[in-house]
Amino acid sequence: MLFLVATLLLAADPAPPPPPPTPPAADDPGFVAAPPGFKGVLVPAPPPPPAAPTPPAAPSPTVPTTMRAIAFPHTVGDDAGKEGTGIAEWVGPGGPQVRIAQRYEQDRDQKLREAQVVIDQVQATFSAVRKAETPEQKIKLKEKLSTLADKPLSDVEALFSAALDIEVRRLKIIGRAVTVAKRDNEAIPRLDAEVIKRILAEMETPAKKQALGNRVAAYRETAHGLAAFLGGQTLEALDLLRKAEAMAPDLAVVHAILGSIYYIVREPTRAIDEWKKAQAIGPKDPDLETAIRELQPKAE
């Protein structure tokens, strides 16, 4: 998984309007430890990139593994390699098709790299919210969040769409390579015609493109939600985060921030539920676990 940087949204006792966030301790490497009588709300660290099975040809270190896992999980899961990602040079029957597929793979990953640049900017801005102390800083962050939610994330959506179209073409041509090789009683190492056929059918469904669009939309609503929070519009922030959760229920950061907003509006049971969802998506974060443990008695 896609997929996120760690953020920490600190709020005082949950009473409207919420006070400005408290900055982390100077020696804190990433999160503020929850003190006794916990009063903070935490957003978990992002999951590490999933380990991809070793393909016949080692992938370039610049390939965005995390982004590829989000957009095309078949390239890093159990089917990795069987569908042609990272395929080695093949000089037998089907070799020309393999070389075309390799170029498509490069084009696909380039689109994902460009998308990753924008997503990194969005995530870094989410993280910066915890450091906002002065009204000027909050205004600047609010403007940046609004800007990123506009054209940059629209560009990401277009890049995802282009990458999907390229992936469909890659799967078709790699499937053609298998067919050509089979005619000459050859088998291209690791390629599985049935796996390629199944994944291609999945990639060509409208639901796949919609899912990628929804993920971008969830980032957009989260950005708008944090901007609303910085502007003191807690209830609007809550509504926007709920929309983000519906669009991409597998984004841990959405659940964590939504839990923070529920905490602020005095709904501790819902806050805990959202934080637990974030923990279940992973990776588990000890500070978020502390927040749940500290708030649990108050919610019962």
Per-residue model confidence (pLDDT) at position 291: 87
Q: 147 or 288, which is more confident?
A: 147
Sequential DSSP letters for the chain: -------EE--SSS-SSPPPPPPPPTT-SS-PPPPSS---EE-PPPPPPPPPPPPSSPPPTTS-HHHHHHH-GGGTSTTTTTT-TTPPP--STTHHHHHHHHHHHHHHHHHHHHHHHHHHHHHHHHHHGGG--SHHHHHHHHHHHHHHHTHHHHHHHHHHHHHHHHHHHHHHHHHHHHHHHHHTT---TT--HHHHHHHHHHHTSHHHHHHHHHHHHHHHHHHHHHHHHHTT-HHHHHHHHHHHHHH-TT-HHHHHHHHHHHHHTT-HHHHHHHHHHHHHHS---HHHHHHHHHHHHHH-
Question: What pLDDT, in 10s, does the model give residues 113-136?
Answer: 999 999 999 988 987 887 888 999
Question: What pLDDT, in 10s, does the model give residues 249-275?
Answer: 988 888 988 988 898 899 999 999 999
Per-residue model confidence (pLDDT) at position 31: 33
Question: What pLDDT, in 10s, does the model give residues 29-46?
Answer: 333 333 344 344 444 444
Lowest mean pLDDT among 19-28, 113-122, 148-157, 270-279: 19-28
Rama region for 190: left / alpha / beta (φ>0; ψ in -120 to 50; rest):
left
Structural contact between residues 275 and 291, judged by C-beta atoms closer than 8 angstroms: yes
Structural contact between residues 12 and 77, judged by C-beta atoms closer than 8 angstroms: no
**What whole-number distance in Å separates Cα of residue 142 and Cα of residue 21?**
14
Per-residue model confidence (pLDDT) at position 296: 84
Q: 275 or 10, which is more confident?
A: 275
Q: Quick check: 232 pLDDT over 50?
A: yes
Question: What pLDDT, in 10s, does the model give residues 79-110?
Answer: 999 999 999 999 999 999 999 999 999 999 99
Per-residue model confidence (pLDDT) at position 66: 76
Per-residue model confidence (pLDDT) at position 300: 67
Per-residue model confidence (pLDDT) at position 191: 97
Question: Where is mean pLDDT largest: 6-20, 61-75, 170-184, 257-271?
Answer: 170-184
Q: Tell me the β-bridge partners of 42.
A: 8
Q: Quick check: 238 pLDDT over 90?
A: yes
> Rounded mean pLDDT of 231-245?
94
pTM of the model: 0.75
Q: Work out the burial of residue 91: count CB atoms within 10 Å of its CB; fewer than 13 is exposed, 13-18 middle, 19 or more buried.
A: exposed
What's the pLDDT band for 2 if we cut at 50, 70, 90? Answer: very low
Per-residue model confidence (pLDDT) at position 60: 34
Per-residue model confidence (pLDDT) at position 16: 45
Q: Tell me the residue type at 166.
A: I
The number of CA neighbours under 13 Å toward the Cβ of 66 is 14
Q: Quick check: 1 pLDDT over 50?
A: no
